[in-house]
Structure 1
Amino acid sequence: MELKKNPRANVGRNSSLYFAVGLNVMLLLTYLGLEHKTYESEATKIDILMLTEQLEEEIPITTINIPPPPPPKQVVTQAITIVEDVEEVEETFIESTEIGQDDIIEERVVSVEEVEVEEVEEDIEVPFAVIEQVPKFPGCTGSNDELRACFQRKMNEHLQKHFRYPQSAAELNIQGRVFVFFKIDKFGNVNGIKSRGPDKLLETEAERIISLLPKMQPGKQRNKPVGVPYSIPINFKLQGQ
């Protein structure tokens, strides 16, 4: 005999509907749970309390002392008195200095007074090689060629007599050739001494030797004393080098 079930007693007949409804309800609860926002009540109360304290704080009233404006300047009025002219001033008439066609030009003879012309002596220099009469070194005599040779001989004797090697230059092993330039002026004096060499110590010693030259008879060009420039080399060499 087959048993027949009551369709009302069948529990699984609406199971799919209940499952769908339950799933939707869970999704809705999950969405509301994620979107729900909560705030800490203590932080909110503190913020409100601090805000009320700031609002209730009294702001002191400050007054600005503005200095009063300066008083207006007093206007000084001067009384103007009109004084009548007592003395009459004569007007002066200035004649024109322009010359017209009808004016006659007066002829005058202008005399030029004699003007004294001062002769200025020029400091002429003639090289030693071309001068007509060379400067005379003390003790030299003879013709111009003999005086020239004697001058050079006396110059070498003077260098050997007064030559002295600088001690500091010898210790530093400084040696070389120094060219000395000087001039025998129209009075026979030696001046304008200049030197050029490898070291200042040697240049100073060469200038010292030339400064000891004696006074000479000046050289002459067309029988007039002139300055004569002259140059001479001085060798500084240590013995055994």
Structure 2
Amino acid sequence: MELKKNPKANVGRNSSLYFAVGLNVMLLLTYIGLEHKTYETEGTKIDLLMLDEQFDEDIPITTINLPPPPPPKQVVTQAITIVEDVVDVEETVIESTEIGQDDVIEDQVVSVEDVEVEEVEEDIQVPFAVIERVPQFPGCKGNNDELRACFQAKMQEHLQKNFRYPDAAAELNIQGRVFVFFLIDKHGNVTKIKSRGPDQLLETEAERIMSLLPKMIPGKQRNKSVGVPYSIPINFKLRQQ
């Protein structure tokens, strides 16, 4: 015999609906529980402060002694008196110094005798290699070639006699060649001594040696005394011990 159930007595027919409603209710309660905020409230008491007595503070009066203002400036009035000129002033007439077309120029003839010619001696310098008569060193004689050879020999002798190595240059191991330039003027004096070398100490010593040269007989060009420039190298070298 087949049993028949009453459709109203079937409890599981609306289970999906009940599940959906219950799920929505749980989600709503969870959202409210998470978003709900609470605040702490404290009672605020407002009191009124009543002052029965009012205290008045006496402020002392300070007196400031200010200096009196300066007196007003006195206005000085100056009376201007107009005096008429009683003295006639002569006017000075300045004549023009320019020459016009109507002016006559005086013809003035200047003779040659009226002109003074001042002779100016020129310091002529002739190189030692081409001069007609070389400067004569004291003790040298002969023709121009013999005087030239004697001059150079006497110059070497003078260098060996007066040569002195500077102590400061020797201590600093300063060596080198110094070129000395000087002029034997038309009076036979040694002037315009200059030098060029590796150090000032060596240049000073080279110039000192040349300053000890004796007075010579000046060189001549066309039988006229002229200046003769001359240069000589001096080798400063320390001996190895």
Asked if TM exceeds 0.5, the reply is: yes
Q: Which runs of 5+ in 2 are unaligned?
A: 45-72
1:154 and 2:154 are equivalent in the alignment: yes
Q: What pairs up with 1:15-30 in 2 under 5 angstroms?
A: 15-30=15-30
Q: What pairs up with 1:199-218 in 2 under 5 angstroms?
A: 199-218=199-218
**1:29–1:220: structure 2 CA closer, same or farther, 3 Å change rule?**
same
| Alignment size in residue pairs | 211
How many Å apart are 1:227 and its aligned residue?
A: 1.6
- Which one has the bigger helix percentage? 1
Aligned to 2:67: none
Aligned to 1:126: 126
For residue 146 of structure 2, give the secondary structure of its aligned residue in structure 1.
Answer: helix
How many Å apart are 1:131 and its aligned residue?
A: 1.5
CA deviations 1:107-135 (Å, max 9, x no partner) are: 52235584534333222211111122221
How many Å apart are 1:34 and its aligned residue?
A: 3.5
Aligned to 1:108: 106
The whole-number CA distance in structure 1 between the counterparts of 2:99 and 2:181 is 68
**1:16–1:173: structure 2 CA closer, same or farther, 3 Å change rule?**
closer
The whole-number CA distance in structure 2 between the counterparts of 1:235 and 1:86 is 92
The whole-number CA distance in structure 1 between the counterparts of 2:151 and 2:160 is 14
**1:198–1:110: structure 2 CA closer, same or farther, 3 Å change rule?**
same
Identity within the alignment, %: 74
Q: Which runs of 5+ in 1 are unaligned?
A: 47-73
The whole-number CA distance in structure 2 between the counterparts of 1:152 and 1:38 is 126
The whole-number CA distance in structure 1 between the counterparts of 2:232 and 2:100 is 76
TM-score (norm 2): 0.63
**1:83–1:147: structure 2 CA closer, same or farther, 3 Å change rule?**
same
**1:99–1:128: structure 2 CA closer, same or farther, 3 Å change rule?**
closer
How many Å apart are 1:80 and its aligned residue?
A: 10
Q: Over aligned residues, Cα RMSD in angstroms?
A: 4.4
**1:88–1:9: structure 2 CA closer, same or farther, 3 Å change rule?**
farther
How many Å apart are 1:194 and its aligned residue?
A: 2.1
